[in-house]
């Protein structure tokens, strides 16, 4: 039997069962499903209105001076999360680390969902997305990072879908093969995404090898955070306690998250130190981040809520308490959006003609997102949220793998704190 669908039942029966499970999810579940669906539809409508009816110049906040803005930041947010989920899922599923095994299926599905959310947002940002589908193949530019990004992510999403299908069919060898290829394409794609910015040598804040490496580290952190966040939510949806193997897995993921938080903090510290001895553009960006228009985002949203507080929560959890880990994960996910936004926008705030000292470029460029842009961002959130909620019901919380249903009762926190000698000591994270 595959998840939620007995082998002798028809597809029609499976679908009917899945629909029944969705509608029996309870009022809270259905409320959030409806809310995310509304966000998705409203965001798509806003994007279509912006690009095809009034024109993005009127609807979006991006300008000639800051052409890459919130929607590009959102795209990077989703695809970095997707690659992170793929990487974290692979630790158990591909590389055989037992404690990470239970998270694999949900993580692979979430990886597919988040990458599709990224595609949705970028699709509503591009002025002519249909031409991309044509000329990506008919007129390729092999020196372009965006061309490679399109190709690598296309392969990755196909491989992720194949991996998930093979997992559902219990075809372990095929799923491992697809997963392994998915990791390779994922890492290539995420570092290349960093290269999209890092190879623009006219943009000193982006230019250099920092971003491609940082994106890989950031992806791992986002993958950990997303696994913890969505898994805890999934158990709430299923109204079941976190059983021992899954609680163990989340504790292990939490430790990895703590490590990656430390890595990201050191990345950030050295980045800021390096900026302090950089050129004029870099100094201006550093000042904007430390004491200028981005100071609140940097100190509160990025450093405070995105690094220091989550790190403290991870330490407090001591690898046992799921509650603090869940809160830390939610904070990391929330704040990383601002991290992406700051990274994208701050790289463009210094005018190209700043050195000339001319009147037209005497001030740093400014950017404010518009309502249309925010709605498109929410479309991505809506797709992720709705698809996650549907996935949990359609695939019945991935029970066969996780062994759910054996429920030992109690709250997730209680269960997580119980001794788990069966799996302890098997994983070093």
From residue 273 to residue 302, the character string flagging contacts with other proteins as x (rule: CB under 8 A) and all else as - is ------------------------------
CB of 70 to other proteins, least distance (A): 13
Q: Rounded to 5 degrees, what angle do the CA atoms 93, 100, 403 make?
A: 90
Report if residue 160 touches other proteins, rule: CB under 8 A: no
Q: Phi and psi of 2, rounded to 5°? A: -100, 165
Q: Which stretch binds other proteins (CB under 8 A): 143-151, 175-183, 315-323, 382-390?
A: 143-151
Q: Which stretch binds other proteins (CB under 8 A): 15-23, 97-105, 225-233, 352-360?
A: 352-360
Q: DSSP 3-state assignment of 420?
A: coil
CA distance 41 to 167: 30
CA distance 51 to 354: 31
- Contact set for other proteins, span 60-79 (CB under 8 A): 62, 64-65, 67-68
Q: Of 117, 191, 336, 348, which one interacts with other proteins (CB under 8 A)?
A: 348
Q: Which stretch binds other proteins (CB under 8 A): 93-101, 110-118, 231-239, 349-357?
A: 349-357
DSSP string, 328-395: HHHHHHHHHHHHHHHHHHHTT-S-TTGGGT-GGGSS-------HHHHHHHHHHHHHHHHHHHHHHHHT
Report if residue 145 touches other proteins, rule: CB under 8 A: yes
Residue-level length of the chain:
429
- Contact set for other proteins, span 190-209 (CB under 8 A): 196, 199-203
Report if residue 87 touches other proteins, rule: CB under 8 A: no
Task: Give the dihedral sign, CA 403/408/411/416.
Answer: negative
Instruction: List the beta bridge partners of residue 5.
Output: 2
Report if residue 49 touches other proteins, rule: CB under 8 A: no
Report if residue 244 touches other proteins, rule: CB under 8 A: no
Cβ proximity to other proteins, 53 vs 409, nearer residue: 53
Report if residue 271 touches other proteins, rule: CB under 8 A: no
Cβ proximity to other proteins, 8 vs 139, nearer residue: 139
Question: How many beta carbons lie within 10 A of that of residue 89, not counting itself?
Answer: 29
CA distance 215 to 260: 12
- Contact set for other proteins, span 122-141 (CB under 8 A): 126-129, 131-132, 135-136, 139-141
CB of 273 to other proteins, least distance (A): 22
Cβ proximity to other proteins, 194 vs 382, nearer residue: 194
From residue 299 to residue 318, the character string flagging contacts with other proteins as x (rule: CB under 8 A) and all else as - is --------------------
Tokens of residue 222, six digits? 């986002």
Report if residue 146 touches other proteins, rule: CB under 8 A: yes
Tokens of residue 275, six digits? 């900026």
Tokens of residue 99, six digits? 């404690």
CB of 212 to other proteins, least distance (A): 15
CB of 198 to other proteins, least distance (A): 12
CA distance 42 to 321: 38
Interface with other proteins (CB under 8 A), residue total 43
CB of 62 to other proteins, least distance (A): 7
By C-alpha distance, which of 201, 185, 166 is closest to 93? 166
Cβ proximity to other proteins, 125 vs 402, nearer residue: 125
Confirm if 324 and 314 have CB atoms less than 8 A apart.
Answer: yes
The residue with tokens 């059983």 is 243
Report if residue 262 touches other proteins, rule: CB under 8 A: no
Report if residue 352 touches other proteins, rule: CB under 8 A: yes
CB of 184 to other proteins, least distance (A): 21
Q: Phi and psi of 166, rounded to 5°? A: -65, -35
Give the relative orientation of helices 70-93 and 371-394 as an angle to the nearest 10 degrees. 20
Rounded (10°) CA dihedral 237, 238, 240, 244 = -100
Q: Which stretch binds other proteins (CB under 8 A): 113-121, 333-341, 348-356, 385-393?
A: 348-356
Report if residue 407 touches other proteins, rule: CB under 8 A: no
Task: Give the dihedral sign, CA 413/417/422/425.
Answer: positive
Cβ proximity to other proteins, 8 vs 143, nearer residue: 143
Give the relative orientation of helices 172-198 and 145-168 as an angle to the nearest 10 degrees. 160
CB of 139 to other proteins, least distance (A): 5
User: Which positions lie near other proteins, rule CB under 8 A?
Assistant: 55-57, 62, 64-65, 67-68, 126-129, 131-132, 135-136, 139-141, 143-147, 149-150, 196, 199-203, 348, 351-353, 355-361
């Amino acid at each position: 039997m595959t998840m939620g669908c007995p082998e002798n039942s028809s597809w029609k029966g499976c679908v009917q069962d899945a629909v029944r499970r969705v509608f029996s999810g309870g009022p809270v579940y259905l409320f959030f499903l409806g809310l995310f669906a509304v966000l998705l539809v409203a965001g798509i409508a806003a994007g279509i209105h912006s690009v095809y009816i009034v024109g993005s110049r009127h609807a979006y906040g991006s300008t000639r001076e800051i052409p890459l803005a919130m929607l590009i930041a959102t795209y990077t947010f989703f695809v970095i999360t997707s690659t992170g989920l793929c990487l974290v899922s692979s630790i158990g599923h591909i590389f055989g680390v037992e404690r990470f095994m239970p998270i694999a299926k949900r993580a692979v599905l979430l990886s597919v969902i988040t990458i599709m959310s990224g595609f949705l947002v970028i699709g509503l940002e591009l002025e002519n997305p249909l031409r991309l589908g044509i000329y990506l193949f008919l007129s390729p530019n092999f020196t372009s990072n965006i061309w490679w990004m399109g190709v690598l992510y296309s392969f990755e999403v196909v491989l992720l879908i194949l991996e998930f299908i093979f997992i559902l069919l219990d075809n372990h060898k095929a799923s491992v093969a697809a997963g392994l290829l998915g990791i390779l394409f994922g890492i290539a794609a995420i570092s290349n995404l960093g290269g999209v910015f890092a190879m623009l040598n006219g943009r000193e804040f982006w230019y250099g090898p920092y971003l491609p490496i940082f994106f890989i580290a950031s992806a791992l952190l986002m993958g950990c955070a997303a696994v913890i966040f969505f898994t805890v939510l999934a158990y709430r949806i299923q109204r079941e306690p976190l059983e021992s193997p899954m609680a163990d897995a989340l504790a292990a993921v939490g430790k990895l998250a703590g490590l990656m938080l430390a890595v990201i903090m050191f990345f950030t510290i050295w980045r800021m130190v390096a900026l302090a001895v950089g050129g004029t553009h870099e100094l201006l960006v550093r000042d904007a981040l430390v004491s200028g228009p981005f100071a609140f985002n940097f100190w509160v949203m990025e450093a405070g809520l995105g690094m220091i507080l989550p790190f403290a929560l991870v330490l407090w959890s001591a690898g046992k308490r799921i509650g603090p880990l869940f809160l830390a994960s939610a904070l990391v996910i929330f704040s990383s959006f601002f991290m992406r936004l700051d990274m994208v926008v701050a790289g463009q705030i210094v005018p190209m003609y700043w050195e000339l000292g001319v009147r037209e470029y005497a001030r740093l460029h400014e950017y404010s997102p518009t309502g249309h842009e925010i709605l498109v961002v929410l479309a991505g959130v809506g797709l992720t949220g709705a698809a996650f909620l549907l996935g949990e019901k359609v695939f019945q919380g991935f029970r066969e793998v996780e062994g759910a249903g054996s429920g030992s009762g109690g709250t997730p926190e209680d269960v997580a704190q119980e001794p788990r000698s069966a799996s302890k000591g098997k994983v070093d994270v």
